[in-house]
Amino acid sequence: MSGDSRDRSHEFDRLNAEFERLDAADIVRWAVSAFDPDVAVSSSFGADSAVMLHLCTQVKPDILVVAVDTGFLFPETIAFRAELTRRLGLNLRVYRPTIEREAFLEEYGKLWRSNPDACCAMNKREPFERAKRELQLRCWMTGIRREQSFTRREAKIVLRDYDGLVKVCPIATWRARDVHEYMKKHDLPYHPLRDSGFLSIGCQPEEGYCTTRVKPGEDPRSGRWAGFDKTECGLHKFESGGGI
């Protein structure tokens, strides 16, 4: 490790120590003041996505919101995306795969059954990597929380991501009850499928694949890619120790 990168890693250590004690809104304020206008928040428009979108738009109403539409989302997610966009006045950019759904199905079939990593790489990761490049981002914020899964348990609040961007997770320390209280305080809606047991919501290309219901007491993300040794779509990479 060069002296330069060691210095920067110490800088991230210092920020993380400070951010563990800060309010999420103050962390968002730091990211916006440090990187505006090259900062965005990503959103899956999942179970409790309204929290991050509200936090970020309170700090910067026209902050870029980046979403990936794989072509295999629940219709309820598309409707929820439209509802939150209208309600919060989001500056939303939706990125889609280069290959459309029907052409994908013709060429690869039900790839999520045989090779979900490859399916996510084409339908999720590529559009998101393209978004970061085209929007010339230097920083992106995301609503991942440590409580959501074993792999996220040690997620850092701020880190230099694998592609050189600064990644900020302002609500990494939040528990489900913090989310719930924030939702209640600001009268924000959960995703409509959350009440039927979908606690983490991504694609559902067919019943029983990629997103399934979670049993009481299980990790919220245990319903993602059930039956596969896969817990992330690839947008979030976690090294042992939980970050970079």
What residue ranges bind ligand SF4 (CB under 6 A)? 70, 72, 112, 116, 119-120, 123-124, 202-203, 205, 210, 233
Looking at beta carbons only, is 57 or 123 nearer to ligand SF4?
A: 123
Query: Measured from the CB atom, is 84 or 210 closer to ligand SF4?
Result: 210
Among this protein's residues, is 169 annotated catalytic?
no
Beta-sheet strand order (sheet of 64-68): 91-95, 64-68, 39-42, 139-141, 166-168, 158-160
**Residue 173 and residue 103: Cα distance in Å, rounded?**
41
Distance of CA 56 to the CA centre of its chain: 14
Please identify, using beta-carbon distances, which residue of 170 and 202 lies nearer to ligand SF4: 202
Burial class (CB within 10 angstroms; exposed 0-12, middle 13-18, buried 19+) of 205: buried
Copy the structure tokens of residue 227.
Answer: 């039956």
Catalytic residue among 56, 139, 210, 233, which? Answer: 233
Shortest distance (Å) from residue 78 CB to ligand SF4: 14
Q: Which of 117, 136, 130, 147 is nearest to 219 (CA)?
A: 147
Query: Smallest distance, Å, CB 243 to ligand SF4?
Result: 23
Retrieve residue 232's tokens. Answer: 């992330």
CB of 202 to ligand SF4, least distance (A): 5
Residue type (1 letter), 166: V
Q: Pseudo-torsion of CA 43, 172, 238, 81, nearest 10°?
A: -10
Nearest approach in angstroms of CB 84 to ligand SF4 is 20
Report the residue number, 54 or 124, with the smaller CB distance to ligand SF4. 124
d(CA 93, CA 135): 10
With beta carbons less than 8 A apart as the criterion, state whether 6 and 28 touch: no
Nearest distance, CB of residue 193 and ligand SF4, angstroms = 15
Our CB check for ligand SF4 shows the closer of 166 and 210 to be: 210
> Taking the mean position of all CA atoms in its chain, how far away is CA 30?
19
DSSP, collapsed to helix, strand or coil, labels residue 83 as helix
> Among 11, 12, 18, 61, which Cα is nearest to 36's?
61
**Residues designated as active site:** 233
